[in-house]
Structure 1
């Protein structure tokens, strides 16, 4: 059911710590030799007087008081350790992002990495919630077996590992996430029947919601109404996406599930909205979110550059191409303030969700043109 009572309890309760770990692949323009000189990622100044102007982080300016930029960091365990591993950087890097363990080179089911940070966090802080952690992605291939350079596709598709041998699947479809958080119906078939009847999840909860409202004061009724409105609005947006993608019109992402928007920004915002709601209602306190897939050639026209992602990352050390690649980096980072603003505007204990959350953003690769893992963003 919609956990509205927990949403109100979370507002009044004590401090709860939360984690969002966001990975973007292919490193950054700021990790190149030219990018370092131009401060395309890390600002020139240290301390609190840094200038975000030249960097890909400029969209985070409204949140600079919350911001910590970690620079000059290498991800040694994503490098090749043996000759057969050379060239396989794109196909092992994501497995290292939150584990910091060198993955075993295998195309079989005997994968091996390490327990990821989000799962360590979930074991420490997520056991009191209905769902200890949730894993999301924007792209994946979701296939068994090998991908390339002798590495299992598992390493490319997941950043979250419950143990050294147990990678966790990342969910791409916002509908699946919505039903996991708020779905009415014991089975997928029952939930599909509710949607076929064009009934909102809130229609199923009308009696319980009315009863809860009678128990609340004016301020809590206002918060409850805002929470339920947000749930319904997200539900409508998902329904609009499903309707459009089921219309028979050509899709930009024909292989994607019907609930996945073709628009990158729309997809990311839906996922961020679901994360913020889950935090507000204390359904979970841990999210791992994979914004891209290594070697992806997706195009991001809203970035101002129409070239393909992977191809753009292989810039050949040309300054003009590095600056084009920075446009993609900047666009990706510009998605994050949407989540931060949602968290900042949501009360939590004596502060806000943003006050009580750690939001990480980074990449396990540095200069993708060189396939290195030095000075990672």
Structure 2
């Protein structure tokens, strides 16, 4: 008996000539691959149950999906190396921001954003614990309850966004990280580890655990079957075909003549990207342990830290490219991280060095670490900018991506004038390519503006906001 959909249509039968839809192409691709957003494959009125009005919820003024992401790096930044020397559209990139030169026109440097709720409170009542508070308040904007067991923070802005636009995609949000996760016990001065090892919160007591294994991220996005089944499926597929792409080439070739030139390029680019990512993940599984003798590397996690961070950024790129989600967070490394950077010649821990007390050698090393983090972010932005979206603009143009830290200067543990970047043009609703000083405003004011652009309704305040930031 042939499978039927609820309307009684034969699912096995090909669509009538001239009808081009995502379901038919997905059947040819196999369910292990999700499609990029292609204008040629946009639903017709007959299949437009999820279609959105132009400029509506979760879309840009051109009708393409609008994405939001939040990237966190630890321990602040060296102010003298971070902040540009002049404001405005013709601002010179500072030393730490030099890697952004290729995408400078799509990046804003935002000065004067604060997280005062990360401080010790009135009369210093909460005492020490700056790193836990910096991490835990970054996307919540609320004062954390100081406890190792009775955790209480706030709903993070990404989850406020996901509540309204999450139903438009296969995943309401995506949480990524490059740390092992800790949810219990005390970490920083009596604060629960949950505050430091999570960026996203679905409720004041429920953190959204970031996934740190790139293979699991990939399988979550593109895998098939119940947990534990996809490996067998992939093994069988590899025995039958040389690569995952072989299963879709025939359908892809037959479809080439029906796609417009822009979509042909996008499809080729996407399929190449899928093969590249899967190849890198498999390579990490085969050689990761051998490259790190004495320490067993979890399958899918490269032993080279640069490759690891880049691979997680690539997962985020694929998630946005396929419209698998429109809201994401990436906790690159938790606040207070004492990771060493041997790969760039720095053997001391990052946190230890951040307490530099103005010692020139230590300041120089922290500045190099700041630069390394920006280099990885810049690579991600360049790849976003090189990837075309459904409306012909780039993914970066149709995104809003925050990059920052909850500490301003790791030595002084301040939370004013935080290092903040806002990348992307928000589908044409932002004014990137400049350095703007806001004096002293809550960072949550920025989040309200971003939520407005994403279509989040009835959000008059968030955290410690005092209004919209404006002029972004």
Say whether the fold is shared (TM-score over 0.5). Answer: yes
| Contact 2:288–2:297 (CA under 8 A) maintained in structure 1 | no
| Contact 1:17–1:125 (CA under 8 A) maintained in structure 2 | no
CA distance in 2, matches of 1:6, 1:291: 25
Q: Report whether the alignment pairs 1:301 with 2:342.
A: yes
**Range with bigger deviation, 217-226 or 320-329:** 217-226
Instruction: Please give the TM-score of this superposition, normalised by the length of structure 1.
Output: 0.88
Q: Which has the higher helix share?
A: 1
Instruction: Please give the TM-score of this superposition, normalised by the length of structure 2.
Output: 0.71
CA distance in 2, matches of 1:101, 1:281: 33
Counterpart mapping for 1:293-332 below 5 A: 293-332=334-373
| Contact 2:135–2:199 (CA under 8 A) maintained in structure 1 | yes
| Contact 1:14–1:350 (CA under 8 A) maintained in structure 2 | no
Partner of 2:65: 16
CA distance in 2, matches of 1:325, 1:363: 14
Partner of 1:147: 187
SS in 1 for 2:175: strand
CA distance in 1, matches of 2:118, 2:105: 31
CA distance in 2, matches of 1:249, 1:118: 35
Residue by residue over 1:43-93, the C-alpha shift from the partner in whole angstroms, topping out at 9 and shown as x without a partner, is: 1211112111x4311111122211211112221011112656322111232
Partner of 1:245: 288
CA distance in 2, matches of 1:318, 1:195: 53
Partner residue of 2:136 out of 89, 95, 107: 95
CA distance in 2, matches of 1:26, 1:142: 19
| Contact 2:179–2:334 (CA under 8 A) maintained in structure 1 | yes
Query: Displacement of 1:142 after TM fit?
Result: 2.6
Partner of 2:7: none
User: What's the C-alpha RMSD, in Å, of the aligned pairs?
Assistant: 2.6
Q: Report whether the alignment pairs 1:123 with 2:153.
A: no
Distance 1:65 1:221, change over 3 A: closer
Q: Report whether the alignment pairs 1:358 with 2:400.
A: yes
Q: Give the unaligned 5+ runs of structure 1.
A: none
Q: Give the unaligned 5+ runs of structure 2.
A: 1-30, 43-61, 420-472
SS in 2 for 1:49: coil
CA distance in 2, matches of 1:324, 1:11: 50
SS in 2 for 1:199: helix
**Range with bigger deviation, 254-263 or 125-134:** 254-263
Partner of 1:80: 120
Partner of 2:423: none
Partner of 2:230: 191
**Range with bigger deviation, 116-125 or 61-70:** 116-125
SS in 1 for 2:152: coil
| Contact 2:82–2:96 (CA under 8 A) maintained in structure 1 | yes
Distance 1:19 1:255, change over 3 A: farther
Query: Displacement of 1:354 after TM fit?
Result: 0.9
Query: Displacement of 1:306 after TM fit?
Result: 3.5
Partner residue of 2:273 out of 213, 230, 244: 230
| Contact 1:4–1:224 (CA under 8 A) maintained in structure 2 | no
Distance 1:204 1:190, change over 3 A: farther
Query: Displacement of 1:144 after TM fit?
Result: 2.2
**Range with bigger deviation, 110-119 or 174-183:** 110-119
CA distance in 2, matches of 1:287, 1:202: 33
SS in 1 for 2:168: coil
The higher-RCO structure (CA 8 Å, 6+ apart) is: 1
